[in-house]
Each structure stands twice: as structure tokens, then as C-alpha cells.
Amino acid sequence: MKSLKTFARGLLAAAALCALATGTQARSFEDIKKDGKINIATEGQFAPFNYFQGARLSGFEIEVAEAMAARMGVKVEWKALGFDALLTGLRQDRWDMVIASHGITEERAKAVTFTDPHYCSGGVIIAKDAAVRTAKDLAGKSIAVQTGTSYLENVKKLAAVKEIKNFPQDTDARAALVSGRVDAWVTDKFVALNSLKANPDAGMKMGDFLFVERIASAVAKGNTGLAAEINKALAAIQADGSYAAISKKWFNEDIRCK
């Protein structure tokens, strides 16, 4: 009995030490408010949602996050990292929030806390061959997707696919299609529309949705106070017309979840 207690105490002490050493205590909204700035991580390679215009982060999600932060009364300190590092960094308290077009999935929700969705979209099939449009058409084909995405997860579910090629960046998955190394590319519908418009001579054609998803920001698992403040700010900018203006600017339509 006694040794069990001692063991438990030892475990607790070890956990506390770990938290100290790695700084695993997520910042509350109050901490952030006191500091005056919220640290937000994104990728910066997923136009038109988050991407670099020269040295400057730009895109729909950058503007939505800035508008939400303004509502919350804080400034944004941006960090740009590889897509794979974003959710992991939340667990290590390296930033307060992530906004990088993450679809809400059960798997991810085990590791992070999602906010309300800031847009609804889905993965579409893009190919050069107009006959490759639907999930069925992907049988026997090789497909390019970004590593760590819901596109990869959903393409994996297709039975008869010949090969899935993973790329750290979505822009490399697109390049694989354009150069003919794969038969199809699966990415977000609005990313696809943007790419088709930017590369009209590349011969890419957009097919059907493979799946649809709700896209949200994430905070550290259990940081529900911060999530609630972000949700309040999102609701406010959706109510006062500023979200609609940002959405129209980037997409010519309002892409909020209906």
C-alpha cells in the first residue's frame, strides 16, 4: 500500500518535472490576453488559404485569424512550419493555435481540441485526362497527395488504386500531376480552383468530390477556455459581415459551413 503511494507520488513529481522541462502547460486565454499576443502556427504553402506572397503570409485563413484575434483584443505572432509539425507543436505548447485547413477528424480530435469550423469544403479529384473524374475512375491509377492530410486518408480507403505518392507539400503533389508522374491529384476544391486558374495551360481538369469535410482551427487538447474565446470571435466576425467580406474577396462566395 505504502509503496504504491510512494510510486504514485513519484509519478506525479516526474510528470510535473516533464511539464516544467518541456513547457507542456498550454497557455490559457487569460495568459494570452496578458501577453497581448497569440502565437498562431500555419503552413504557408496552401494557397489561397495560407501562403507566402513574397515574404508576407497571406490568404483567407490568415485574414480570418487576424480578424478573430482583433476581436479577442490580441495581436498575432505568426509561425510558418511544415504541415506535419503543426498539430504536434500544440502538444508541446510551442504555439497557442493552429490554422492550416485541418479537417475535423476523429483521429485528430484525440490529440487536439478543434474550434468551430471556419469553412466547409472537401477533397476533389484533379487529372489531365478528362475521363478521370470520379472515385471509380481512380482504379488502377497512381495518385499524388500531401502527407498527413485527409486526402491521403481518403485515397487509402479506395480499394483498387495502383499507387499513392506522398509529398510533404501539396504544391509538390500538384507538380507531380502536371509533369505526368501521376494520373491524379487529390486536394481541396478551392486550392484546385485556384491552381487551375493560375496554371491555365497545365491541362488540369477538376472532377468530383471524393469526400467533404469541415475545416477548423485547433488548440491544445483540453484548452477549452481558449477554444471558447476563438468560437466567440468567429461567431462575431460571421455576424458583423467581416467574415463574408474576406470570403468574397478570396472566393467570390461565402464558404462558411451552412
Tell me the three cell numbers of residue 90: 500544440
Contact assessment for residue 128 and residue 207, using Cβ atoms and an 8 Å cutoff? no
Q: Which of 146, 154, 194, 247 binds ligand ARG (CB under 6 A)?
A: 146
Q: Which of 63, 188, 238, 246 binds ligand ARG (CB under 6 A)?
A: 188
Which three-class secondary structure state does DSSP give residue 64? Answer: helix
- Please report whether residue 96 would count as binding ligand ARG according to CB under 6 A: no
Nearer to ligand ARG, 48 or 207 (CB): 48
> Which H or E run contains 175?
helix 170-178
> Which H or E run contains 247?
helix 242-251
Nearer to ligand ARG, 29 or 190 (CB): 190
- Please report whether residue 250 would count as binding ligand ARG according to CB under 6 A: no
CA–CA dist 177, 187 (Å, integer): 12
Q: How far is the CB of 191 from ligand ARG (least distance, A)?
A: 8
- Please report whether residue 174 would count as binding ligand ARG according to CB under 6 A: no
What residues from 23 to 62 belong to the interface with ligand ARG (CB under 6 A)? 43, 46, 50
Nearer to ligand ARG, 29 or 76 (CB): 76
Q: Which of 63, 96, 116, 170 binds ligand ARG (CB under 6 A)?
A: 170
Q: Which of 100, 125, 144, 219 binds ligand ARG (CB under 6 A)?
A: 100
Angle at 198 between CA 196 and CA 204, to 5 degrees: 25
Q: Which long-range contacts (CB under 8 A, 24 or more apart) does 147-152 make?
A: 147/83, 147/84, 148/83, 148/84, 149/83, 150/103, 150/105, 150/123, 150/211, 150/213, 151/123, 151/186, 151/187, 151/210
Q: Which stretch binds ligand ARG (CB under 6 A): 4-12, 63-71, 98-106, 227-235?
A: 98-106
- Please report whether residue 149 would count as binding ligand ARG according to CB under 6 A: yes
Output the CA torsion sign for 3, 6, 10, 11. positive
Nearest to 244 by CA among 60, 115, 100: 60
Nearer to ligand ARG, 78 or 83 (CB): 83
User: Interface with ligand ARG by CB under 6 A: which residues?
Assistant: 43, 46, 50, 83, 100-103, 146, 149-150, 170, 188
